[in-house]
Amino acid sequence: MKRIAVFGYGIMSLEAMRRLNQELYSIIFIAKDEAEAALVEEQGFSAKIIDFRNDDELRSIGIGTDVDILFCFYPRDSDNVFLTISARAIDQNITIVAIVDDPESSEKLLAAGANKIIDPYEICGRKTHEMLTKPDITNILDDTVFGRHDLNMAQIEVLKGSCLENTKTSDLRLSEKYDLILIGIVDRELGDQLHFAIGEKEHCLDAGDVLVVMGPATEIKAFKKVVEQC
């Protein structure tokens, strides 16, 4: 049985762990604190708290000995690059899979020693066509979307203290300000299920909620920058 260590809490890391066959893989999630560990353990996975910047603590979870695969799912590319460099220095044979927020970071991660890069923008671009073929999704999209080739999707978390807290979804006006479409909301208080923005009741945003948006990559990056700074 191969052993996998997963770093970075989020929708993608949780989904990756759920999809892994636990008869073939032993999974350990590496949490930053007790609250994060508790959230993962509630999902039925093992969790351990360590400082990923400390090589001895990385070795303590099995990197260099019995961890075969490492998932780097931190939201910041710099953290994923740091973790990749550290893990590769400890174990030349470990398989490292890393996610990127900025496509330009892909080369840095590959140079750092990552075996596989996951670019959500590229994946979502391919998935857009599949979504457009489903009637329930098609009805959500405005006619101006069709025929465009620069569509991407992204998940943007509402941070504690953000100006988006207590904002109603109808007040976001993403199409006017950023040429973006709000597909739906993941309400952390209700779980990890996506609630579509059209056809469901008005939603008031709380810290931890995740906005799922669609639009050009440049507009997504501009909106994320505003959200992180406000």
| pLDDT tops 70 at residue 29 | yes
Would you tell me how many other CB atoms lie within 10 Å of the CB of residue 13?
A: 20
Residues 41-78 have pLDDT tens digits of 998 999 999 999 999 999 999 999 999 999 999 988 89
Residue 120 has pLDDT above 80, yes or no: no
More confident residue, 150 or 114: 114
Weakest-pLDDT range from 5-14, 73-82, 175-184: 175-184
Quote the CA–CA distance of 201 and 208 in Å, as a whole number.
19
The pair of three-digit structure tokens given for residue 73, joined into one six-digit string: 């799912």
Q: Which range scores top for mean pLDDT: 54-58, 209-213, 217-221, 223-227?
A: 54-58
Of residues 119 and 25, more confidently modeled: 25
Range in 24-33, 40-49, 83-92, 172-181 the model is least confident about = 172-181
Beta carbons within 10 angstroms of residue 8's beta carbon: 23
Q: How far is CA 186 from CA 44, 45, 160, 183, 208, in A?
A: 20, 21, 16, 10, 9
| Amino acid 46: pLDDT | 94
What number of H helices and E strands is found in the chain?
Answer: 9, 10
Measured distance CA(142)–CA(158) in Å, rounded: 25
Strands 210-215 and 181-186: antiparallel
Beta carbons of 96 and 72 less than 8 angstroms apart: yes
Name the strands in the sheet holding 95-99, side by side, starting at the edge strand that comes first in the sequence: 46-49, 25-31, 2-7, 69-72, 95-99, 116-118
- Token pair of 191 as six digits: 């779980």
Confidence bin at 128 (pLDDT 50/70/90): very low
Is the pLDDT reported for residue 38 higher than 70? yes
Per-residue model confidence (pLDDT) at position 4? 95
Q: What pLDDT band is residue 18 in, cutting at 50, 70 and 90?
A: confident
195 DSSP 8-state letter: E
What six digits make up the tokens of 134?
């489903």
Q: What pLDDT does residue 57 have?
A: 95
Q: In this predicted model, what pLDDT tens digit does every residue of 197-208 receive, in sequence order?
A: 654 467 888 888
Whether pLDDT at 149 is above 70 = no
Long-range contacts of 11-19 (CB under 8 A, 24+ apart): 11/155, 11/186, 11/192, 11/210, 12/73, 12/99, 12/118, 12/120, 12/155, 13/71, 13/73, 14/40, 14/43, 14/192, 16/71, 16/73, 17/43, 17/45, 18/43
99 or 135: which leads in pLDDT: 99
pLDDT band at 85 (very low <50, low <70, confident <90, very high): very high
More confident residue, 65 or 181: 65
Please check whether residue 184 is in contact with residue 212, taking contact to mean a CB–CB distance below 8 angstroms: yes
Res 80 pLDDT > 60: yes
The dihedral region occupied by 196, where left means phi > 0, alpha psi between -120 and 50, and beta the remainder, is beta
